[in-house]
Amino acid sequence: MENGTTRPAQAAQRTVISVDAMGGDRGPATVVAGLVDSARSDADIAFLLHGDEAVLRPLVAQHPELVDRCDIRHAPRVVTMHDKPSQVMRNGAGTSMWSTIDSVKAGEASVAVSCGNTGALMAVSMIRLRKLPGVNRPAIACLWPSRNPGGFNVMLDVGADIKAEAEDLLQFATMGTVYARNGLNLKRPRVGLLNVGTEEHKGRAELKLAHDQMTAAQEAAGFEFVGFVEGGDIPSDRVDVIVTDGFTGNIALKTGEGTAKLISDLLREAFGAGLLSKFAALLALNSLKRLQKRIDPRRVNGGVFLGLNGTVVKSHGSADATGVAAAIRLAAQLGRSGFLDRLSARLASAGRAGQDAAGNGSGQQE
Amino acid sequence: MENGTTRPAQAAQRTVISVDAMGGDRGPATVVAGLVDSARSDADIAFLLHGDEAVLRPLVAQHPELVDRCDIRHAPRVVTMHDKPSQVMRNGAGTSMWSTIDSVKAGEASVAVSCGNTGALMAVSMIRLRKLPGVNRPAIACLWPSRNPGGFNVMLDVGADIKAEAEDLLQFATMGTVYARNGLNLKRPRVGLLNVGTEEHKGRAELKLAHDQMTAAQEAAGFEFVGFVEGGDIPSDRVDVIVTDGFTGNIALKTGEGTAKLISDLLREAFGAGLLSKFAALLALNSLKRLQKRIDPRRVNGGVFLGLNGTVVKSHGSADATGVAAAIRLAAQLGRSGFLDRLSARLASAGRAGQDAAGNGSGQQE
């Protein structure tokens, strides 16, 4: 048991992920099962696990895979899905979520992972980690199954804030570009701005302004601007990064997930009806599994908070062990790639370029 | 050939649909093929077909099904997908779209159907038909495949306008209720307000206000208000009518369509790979067809413009003959059910109820 709390010398080589054990819909046992999956597939990973020590210690002790690799940090309180972000921001000290973020702030861990309340997680992350210099609105970026060779597109913001001005959208484009470089290995990602039509005269005023600013900034910010894209383009191969405000992005994300869930349920129904169909499903098992894997939301689990002095991965509240493991894999990848340093460097240079190119309408902030 | 242009006595019993032959992506031959499908399955339908007579006359003449049932109205000009709504509104006379709407205005046809430019169609419909008394913003309502027994939910606005105030959203709820009654045979539809969370404190200011107004108005307007719903609830069975602004609704609609398309393409790929999978697909053909039918966007083709002195059905620009026929079937159903009279009666009584219940925040307009 003592093994669970000591940090032997070899752990120093490992990428340390700070994990919130509480606050997910399925409870800490599911989170610990996710850690086990991650520890099995990644020998160079270690965890700081935050939550009720009396609950966590016996859970961790059951798994020899976690010996020497999981340090428990006691946090007596839990943020629930119903807590208001503003309250958590004021009174959140002592919660597992707060403690999880603080380990990143203190430099003990590279990246934080939580399945908890999104609004509260963003609020705590903002107040503890603070925004990167020059960032007005942080954003949450998600991966979206797509027709591109890599299999995924990036979309942001999917819910950090409920609105975004033109300048914020431009910054989302820059941050999404760095994420697509590190997460999808794309040299010069193609960025599209989500709108209700692709013609330049369409949409809200801030979108037309952002369109002009992105056209001007694409060279300096390292992306190719493809202009306006529509909802149907989100999974397409004409774009790599889709930029939108957090209200629209959150609704698009959940609509896509809901549609995929409906279809896969109907598919299961279709193959469950009748002996012949069941036999057919058996024959097509591999094909169906490949498809399932392609669109399984658990595999792309993990919204990344961008624009803060530290990287935070928000896992789905309902994530099972596979989902938690996917979020941790993403966290480890971002921790190892030096993502945060690249992001802040890019934002700093974009800020300088914006100041140099004064008069293009982006001078409102700073 | 003369048969195609005369209107014999028995046509007076038929439901007359005014159809724009031009402006769709696939051209007038596809629209005429859709009319043929409709004429075959519905003996009590007749058409006024608007467009270039020299093109339309030979197309119609090829189909004996259309004899006596399709009157051609020559319109020399066409609205393209790139024309700006504001220009079409000023200079649209002489286009097939304008002529299609004018037949409804003149009372020659019950409902109009067009595959053309949505923005232009809404603009022409607004200027020619005018808004119903008390309506501030008209809306476009669509049907969405769902887990409900009827198989569909109603969502509005999916693109008439890019914004909506609280009062507009309340009116959308009332209009969507009447549509769900006539289109889905629901006595007391459940209405949900689309937001980024279901907690009452979430979302934009106008959504919180609309939440309060809908809670107060549900009894008088004949719906049950279920509160905020999220993107994932759009295809669910906890709601029948989803209310949102036209920007968000349009993006959700296209995101859902894009996701369904991606999955069905991946499914086709999966069953096309390898002999075993192909054999399995053959065995499961009926199940797959049932599924396909359930989520085929062509079957639910037709956004309905609500809030005008006349009913207009917007078909997908890329609709094939099956899609055009689905839009016409919807138009005929609405024409026969006396939908427009019911809608205007309900709006009038909701307007009175709103005036009676002064002080609940809805007194901003009128």
Confidence of residue A248 (pLDDT cuts 50, 70, 90): very high
pLDDT tens column, A9-28: 444 579 999 999 998 899 99
| Lowest mean per-residue pLDDT among A243-247, A297-301, B124-128, B158-162 | A297-301
Chain A CB contacts of B287 below 8 Å: 270-271, 273-274, 277, 280
Residues B188 and B268 in one domain: yes
pLDDT tens figures, B130-155: 999 989 999 999 998 889 998 899 99
Whole-angstrom distance, CA of residue A325 vs CA of residue A78? 21
Can you tell me whether residue A81 is helix, strand or coil?
coil
For residue A279, the model assigns a pLDDT of 66
Structure tokens at B195: 């937001």
Q: What is the pLDDT of residues A83-116, one digit of tens each?
A: 999 999 999 999 999 999 999 999 999 999 999 9
A204 touches chain B (CB under 8 A): yes
CB of A162 within 8 Å of a chain B CB? The answer is: yes
Q: What is the dihedral of CA A44, A50, A55, A58, to 10 degrees?
A: 20
Question: Residues 256-275, chain B: which have Cβ within 8 Å of A?
Answer: 256-267, 269-271, 273-274
Boundary-marking domain end, from A129, A150, A172: A129
Which of B142, B152, B287 has the highest number of chain A CBs within 10 A, making it the mutation to test binding with A?
B287
Residues in chain A closer than 8 A to B260 (CB atoms): 259, 263
Three-state DSSP class for A75?
coil
Q: Is residue A104 part of a domain?
A: yes
Residue with tokens 């209009």: B175
Closest CA to B346 of B229, B188, B213: B188
Q: In chain A, what residues touch B282 (CB-CB under 8 Å)?
A: 280
Residues B110, B120, single domain; the answer is yes
Contact A284 B280 (CB under 8 A): yes
Contact A261 B288 (CB under 8 A): no
Whether A313 maps to a domain, the answer reads: no
Any CB–CB contact under 8 A between B198 and chain A?
Answer: no
Could you tell me the end-to-end alpha-carbon distance of chain A, in angstroms, rounded to an integer?
A: 52
The per-residue pLDDT for range B255-280, each reduced to its tens digit, is 998 888 888 787 777 766 666 666 66
pLDDT of residue B1 exceeding 80, the answer is no
How far apart CA B331 and CA B153 sit, in angstroms, is 17
The predicted-structure confidence for A106-160, as pLDDT tens digits, reads as follows: 999 999 999 999 889 999 999 999 999 989 999 999 998 889 998 899 999 998 9
Q: Provide the shortest C-alpha distance from residue A72 to chain B (in Å).
A: 32
Residues A70, A144, single domain; the answer is: no
Cross-chain residue pair B196–A162, CB shorter than 8 Å:
yes
**Predicted pLDDT of residue A360:** 46
Name the residue of chain B whose CA is nearest to A144's CA. Answer: B259
Chain A residues 37-76 with a CB less than 8 Å from chain B: none
On whether both A225 and A256 belong to a single domain, the answer is yes
Taking the Cβ of residue B277 and every Cβ of chain A, the question of whether any pair is shorter than 8 Å is answered with yes
**Residue A194: what are its φ and ψ, rounded to 5°?**
-70, 130
Report the C-alpha gap between A135 and B82 in whole angstroms: 37
Confidence of residue B282 (pLDDT cuts 50, 70, 90): low
Residue B348 lies in a domain: no
Amino acid B4: pLDDT: 42
Q: Does A254 touch chain B if contact means CB atoms closer than 8 Å?
A: yes
What is the arithmetic mean of pLDDT over A30-52? 96
Q: What stretches of chain B adopt beta strand conformation (E)? A: 15-20, 45-51, 70-74, 111-114, 139-145, 152-156, 190-194, 224-229, 241-243, 303-306, 311-314
Mutating which of A142, A255, A282 best tests the B interface, going by the most B Cβ atoms within 10 A?
A: A255
B87 contacts: CB under 8 Å, gap ≥ 6: none
- Count up the domains in chain B and report the number: 2
Any CB–CB contact under 8 A between B238 and chain A? no
The verdict on B235 touching A (C-beta cutoff 8 Å) is: yes
Quote the minimal CA–CA distance from B114 to chain A in Å.
18
Please check whether residues A91 and A155 belong to one and the same domain: no
Identity of the residue in A203, A250, A295 whose CB atom sits nearest the CB atom of B162: A203
Instruction: State whether residue B231 sits within 8 Å of chain A by CB.
Output: yes
Q: How confident is the model at residue B257, as a pLDDT?
A: 87
Disruptive mutation site among A239, A259, A288 for chain B (greatest number of B CBs within 10 Å):
A259
- What does the block give as tokens for B302? 């037709």
B272 within domain boundaries? yes
Task: Indicate the helix (H) or strand (E) that contains A291.
Answer: helix A285-295
Residues from chain A contacting residue B204 (CB–CB below 8 Å): 162-163, 247
B123: left (phi over 0), alpha (psi -120 to 50) or beta: alpha
pLDDT at B350: 78
CB contact under 8 A, B234 and A163: no
A250 and B CB contact within 8 Å: yes
> What distance in Å separates residue A114's CA from the closest CA in chain B?
18
Inter-chain residue contact A252 with B255, CB threshold 8 Å:
yes
Q: Is residue A89 part of a domain?
A: yes
* H/E element, A29: helix A28-41
Residues A151 and A221 in one domain: yes
Are B151 and B294 in the same domain? yes
**pLDDT above 70: percentage of residues in chain A:** 84
| Mean pLDDT (whole number) for B21-26 | 91
pLDDT(B11) > 80: no
**Interchain proximity B283–A287, CB inside 8 Å:** no
Instruction: Judge whether A291 is closer than 8 Å to chain B, CB to CB.
Output: yes
**Residue B3 pLDDT > 50:** no
**Is residue A235 within 8 Å of residue B259, measured between CB atoms?**
yes
**Chain B nearest C-alpha distance from A361 (Å):** 23
| DSSP characters over B167-208 | HHHHHHHHHHHHHHHHHH--SS-EEEEE-S-SSTT-S-HHHH
How far apart (Å, rounded) are the C-alpha atoms in residues B79 and B100? 12
Please state, in angstroms and rounded to a whole number, the distance separating the CA atoms of residues A123 and B89.
47
Q: What are the backbone dihedrals phi and psi of residue B293, each rounded to the nearest 5 degrees, phi first?
A: -65, -35
Quick one: pLDDT at residue B361? Answer: 42
Question: Contact B148/B237 with Cβ under 8 angstroms?
Answer: yes
A71 within a domain of the structure (yes/no): yes
Tokens 């079409």 belong to B88
Does one domain contain both B157 and B82? no
Cβ-based neighbours of A72, under 8 Å, separated by 6 or more: A4, A5, A49, A50, A51, A53, A56, A57, A60
Q: Quickly tell me which residue has 């792309």 as its tokens.
A: A300
- Residue B351 pLDDT class (50, 70, 90 cuts): confident
Dist CA B16 CA B310 (whole Å): 13
Query: What pLDDT shows up at residue B130?
Result: 96
The confidence band for B223, taking pLDDT boundaries of 50, 70 and 90, is very high
From chain A, pick out residues whose CB is under 8 angstroms from the CB of B197.
119
Judged against a pLDDT cut of 70, whether residue A326 lies above it is answered with: yes
Residue B58 belongs to domain spanning: 13-135+307-338
pLDDT single digits (tens) B228-243: 999 999 999 999 999 9
pLDDT(A234) > 80: yes
Portion of chain B with pLDDT greater than 70, in percent: 84
The per-residue pLDDT for A302 is 77
Chain B residues with beta carbon closer than 8 angstroms to that of A203: 162, 247
Are B210 and B321 part of one and the same domain?
no
How many contacts, defined by CB atoms under 8 Å, are there between A and B? 181
For residues B151 and B278, membership in a common domain is answered with: yes
**What's the rounded Cα separation, in Å, for the pair B171 and A308?**
41
Q: pLDDT class for A363, splitting at 50, 70, 90?
A: very low
Mutate one of A251, A257, A278 to test the B interface: name it (highest B CB count within 10 A). A251
* Region B64-79 average pLDDT: 95
Whether B84 and chain A come into contact, CB under 8 Å, resolves to yes
Q: Could you tell me if B34 and B127 lie in one domain?
A: yes
Domain holding A228: CATH number? 3.40.718.10
Q: What letters, b where the CB count within 10 A reaches 16 and e where it falls short, cover A75-110?
A: bebbbeeebebeebbeebeebbbbbbbbbbbeeebb
Rounded percentage of chain B residues whose pLDDT exceeds 90: 64
User: Do residues B28 and B1 lie in contact, with contact meaning Cβ atoms separated by under 8 Å?
Assistant: no
- Please give the ipTM for the structure prediction: 0.84
* Residues A100 and A124 reside in one and the same domain: yes
Residue A227: pLDDT over 90: yes
**E strands present in A85-138:** 111-114
Would you say residue A326 lies in a domain?
Answer: no
Which of B299, B321, B351 is at the close of a domain? Answer: B299
CB within 8 Å: A248 and B253: no
- pLDDT tens string B170-217: 999 999 999 999 888 899 999 999 999 877 767 789 999 999 999 999
Enter the DSSP assignment of A229: E
Q: Do B283 and A286 touch (CB under 8 A)?
A: no
Of the pLDDT bands very low, low, confident and very high (cuts 50, 70, 90), residue B17 is: very high
Confidence of residue B296 (pLDDT cuts 50, 70, 90): low
Q: What is the mean pLDDT of chain A?
A: 87
Mean pLDDT of chain B: 87
CA-based radius of gyration for chain A: 21
Q: Is A332 helix (H, G, I), strand (E, B) or coil?
A: helix
DSSP string, A124-178: HHHHHH-BPTT-SS-EEEEEEE-SSTTSEEEEE-SSS-S---HHHHHHHHHHHHH
Establish if B235 belongs to a structural domain.
yes
The confidence score (pLDDT) of residue A11 equals 46
Residue B356 or A159, more confident: A159
Domain boundary among A98, A129, A160: A129
Distance CA A24, CA A32 (A): 12
pLDDT-based confidence at residue A245 (cuts at 50, 70, 90) = very high
With 70 as the cut, is the pLDDT of residue A299 above it? no
Q: Residues 93-132, chain A: which have Cβ within 8 Å of B?
A: 119
Whether B363 has a pLDDT exceeding 60, the answer reads no
- Tell me whether residues B291 and A270 touch, CB distance under 8 A: yes
